[in-house]
A and B are shown apart, each in its own frame.
Chain A
């Protein structure tokens, strides 16, 4: 409802200038990733100079030096189970606190919500000691260390425990909006709680689950902290945290860093481009009652 034409132009101008600031780093990353460092670094105009050579060498080197394919496999072995399990567990809690009245409903919901708000670093010292002391069977690739620390299982568990706070909160808000007659009718028909959850409430919760799935995929994929502290070792690091090792190897070659970053962000960017609406509504739902 910008009343005057002048205000409309002002608004458009403002948005245009700001969007340039947002485009800059992203375009710069793409422009430099395809060019040899020797060419751009010796030109006073950097990667804005007219390209003489366009090459995929940076991508090839980043993939090889960073062992990115290996790190990608680890990443998906963590992200997919963690995301699925988070949604499964938190939807069960959300179902029972939002569809039935228990004595501790609100206290439980508050516990989950508050847990998700704690800075992860404030619990890491004891968590690290706990992870050091819980033995699990040695399975190649999944838990070669023989303990929670350094295993993919340990990483998955902390993601599930931490993220289920946010998801429980969002899902219970969503499930509350479903008509309560659904459960009553189902109960009259003799459906047990599990069937009410799985066959009646869950299908109706699909939009919220889809929004959360995209959001959780990105968040767990983007995790750096848990992996750096609880896995630490080279080969088993998910891709985002493996960047820590690259900062030394990639020393000064900025175009190699750009190519490496581009490879790392590719999956989340693709999903964002396809599922933009889910991404945005997931966050928005979390902020609203």
Chain B
């Protein structure tokens, strides 16, 4: 890399512009709002005139953990369920499919295109597809298979908010699980592509050496391949957490207001709804921000480690 000191004065000026304009835009519309979220969370404000803004300290947070306790815990738990299913179901499935496709079986290109296909679609549209094709009470795949399409006998997959797994006052509601299924469906392909790229970079001689030593398929994966893919594993881990925290579209689009709220919905509620409470909305935003912070830092450390010395 050439040192910047070699540049002439006019070249330097060009360079400042090339870096400055994009940075201003990015900082102005992403980082300044991120900081402003934290500041606004300590205020009480309806969002209209600045002189109505009042500093209230921790009041919003105290309210979240008392008055709105039920909303908050329900949303946090729902985000956690998404994470659990993406992590324990979608991720292993994606890794397994990638592992098999890496062996160049017949039809690999076809399978790869097929499993990746949902990733190309918006989760909002995916929600509509599942709603009409899989969950439709009168003609959806599930009720047709179960023979429950007759009037009065239908199962309402997206409408049943009773708990499948109760945990005290909270739990995993049936309709929320119905929303998680399409998320998993879409996430598998994502993981598959990321892992496949990682597998292609594993030194083939390592696999051969292990095979000659008589290692079983599982031992080979567990002891040779998986550890050597640590950077990809971190990326997958972080992407999965962020996906689980960002989830919004499919829940908003299939708006069944009972029992399916997540953090992102609570943050936006006061903008899209009738009443406008910027302070409380921001406090929810801060909780969202804090939840992902650790993972963002972890990701940065993984990606930028060793770069300082270059």
A contacts, CB < 8 Å to B: 1-3, 7-8, 11-12, 14-15, 18-19, 21-26, 28-29, 32, 40-41, 43-48, 89-90, 92-93, 95-102, 106, 108-115, 117-130, 132, 157-158, 160-162, 164-165, 168-169, 180, 183-184, 187, 192-194, 197, 218, 221-225, 228-229, 232, 240-241, 243-244, 247, 252, 254-255, 257-258, 260-261, 264-265, 268-269, 272, 276, 279-280, 283-285, 287-289
Across the interface, do A125 and B29 meet the contact criterion of CB distance under 8 Å? no
A258 contacts which of B33, B129, B207 (Cβ < 8 Å)? B129
A3 and B211 contacting across the interface, CB-CB below 8 Å:
yes
Q: Does B163 contact A (CB under 8 A)?
A: no
Q: Contacts A1-B211, A258-B133: A240 and B1 contacting too (C-beta < 8 A)?
A: no
B22-38 interface mask toward A, CB cutoff 8 Å, 1 = contact, 0 = none? Answer: 11011111111110110
Q: A111-B27, A247-B254 are in contact. Are A19 and B125 (CB under 8 A)?
A: no
Q: Verify A194–B14 contact, CB threshold 8 A.
A: yes
Residues of chain B having any CB pair with chain A under 8 Å: 1-4, 6-8, 10-11, 14-15, 18-19, 21-23, 25-34, 36-37, 40, 47, 93, 96-97, 100-101, 103, 105-107, 111-125, 128-134, 136, 138-141, 143-144, 147, 149-150, 182, 185, 190, 193-194, 196-198, 201, 207-208, 211, 217, 231-232, 235-236, 238, 242, 245-246, 248-249, 252-255, 263-264, 267-268, 270-272, 278, 281-282, 285-286, 288-289, 292, 295-296, 299-300, 303-304, 307-308
Main secondary structure of the interface of B (DSSP, over half): helix
Q: Which 4 pairs, one residue from A and one from B, show the smallest C-beta to C-beta distance? A: A222-B122, A284-B197, A46-B139, A126-B36
B140 and A254 form a contact (CB under 8 A): yes
Query: When the two chains form the complex, which single residue of A99, A225, A247, A265 contacts B121, counting CB atoms closer than 8 Å?
Result: A265
CB <8 Å contact, A100 and B7? yes
Determine the distance from Cα of A271 to Cα of B18 in the docked complex, in whole angstroms: 31
Contacts of A25 in B (CB 8 A): 129-130, 133-134, 182, 185
- Tell me the bound Cα distance from A119 to B265 in angstroms: 12
The CA of A99 and the CA of B6, in the complex, are separated in Å by: 12
Is there contact, CB below 8 Å, between A100 and B4?
yes
On whether the beta carbons of B197 and A161 are closer than 8 Å, the reply is no
List A contacts of B34 (CB < 8 A).
118, 122-123
